[in-house]
Structure 1
Amino acid sequence: MALRTIPIRRAGNRNNLFMGGDRELVMFAGLLAFALIFAAQELRATVFGLTLWFSTLYGCRLMAKHDPKMRQVYLRHRRYVRFYPPRSTPFRSNSGSQGRQYK
């Protein structure tokens, strides 16, 4: 009897992107640019807000093109930093007491 294959549909396995970038980062950048433009109501603020929006959108798109889950990976990395063992290289030779500490 042959193994049954089940297709994995693309629609159920897509990354959560908005306008080509990470959804939360793009929407937060848009909110900041919108708040800057309409709170200041000056030409300089409008130019700066639009520049901020388009540069952030470009950066988020580049980041999503490289790795769509980069924000989640970075946040997990920040959360686990205190658990990383303090070794300089994988080839370090520990003394007896240091070797027992990491086993």
Structure 2
Amino acid sequence: MAEFGSNLIRSRIHRALSRPNLLMGADRELVLLSALAAVILIFVVLTWYAAMAGMMFWLVAVAVLRMMAKADPLMRRVYLRHVSYKSVYRATSSPWRRY
């Protein structure tokens, strides 16, 4: 019986394959999207006020995204899946509830 357990094959999984893809502590795509929005704001308006507003927007957005990622790193994917399944799984109290 003890010999059977020793013949198990083990394979190592690299840590980078199972971790969420984060940039600056937040979801990578959302950080890059907020940076793109800030850069567009800065270079379209081309004033010092727009540059300051763009930088402030990006800093606040990254702070909020980091708080979101700290609560759940996969929150964006979970929310998108929730929205896509909303029509399939209705929020009802039981399967026999009348509509």
TM-score, normalising length: structure 2: 0.81
For residues 26 and 67 of structure 1, what CA distance do their matches in structure 2 show?
A: 15
Q: CA deviation at 1:23?
A: 1.0
Q: CA deviation at 1:35?
A: 0.9
Shift in alpha-carbon separation, 1:6–1:33, aligned structure 2, 3 A = same
Paired residue for 2:50? Answer: 45
Aligned positions of 1:6-85 closer than 5 A:
6-85=11-90
Query: 5+ residue gaps in structure 2?
Result: none
Q: Could you tell me the percent identity over the aligned residues?
A: 40
Following TM superposition, where does structure 1 have runs of at least 4 consecutive aligned residues deviating by more than 4 angstroms? none
TM-score, normalising length: structure 1: 0.78
After superposition, the C-alpha distances for 1:52-97 in whole angstroms (9 at most, x for unaligned) are 100100111111111111111111111111112351x35x8x37xx
Q: CA deviation at 1:43?
A: 2.1
Query: 5+ residue gaps in structure 1?
Result: 99-103
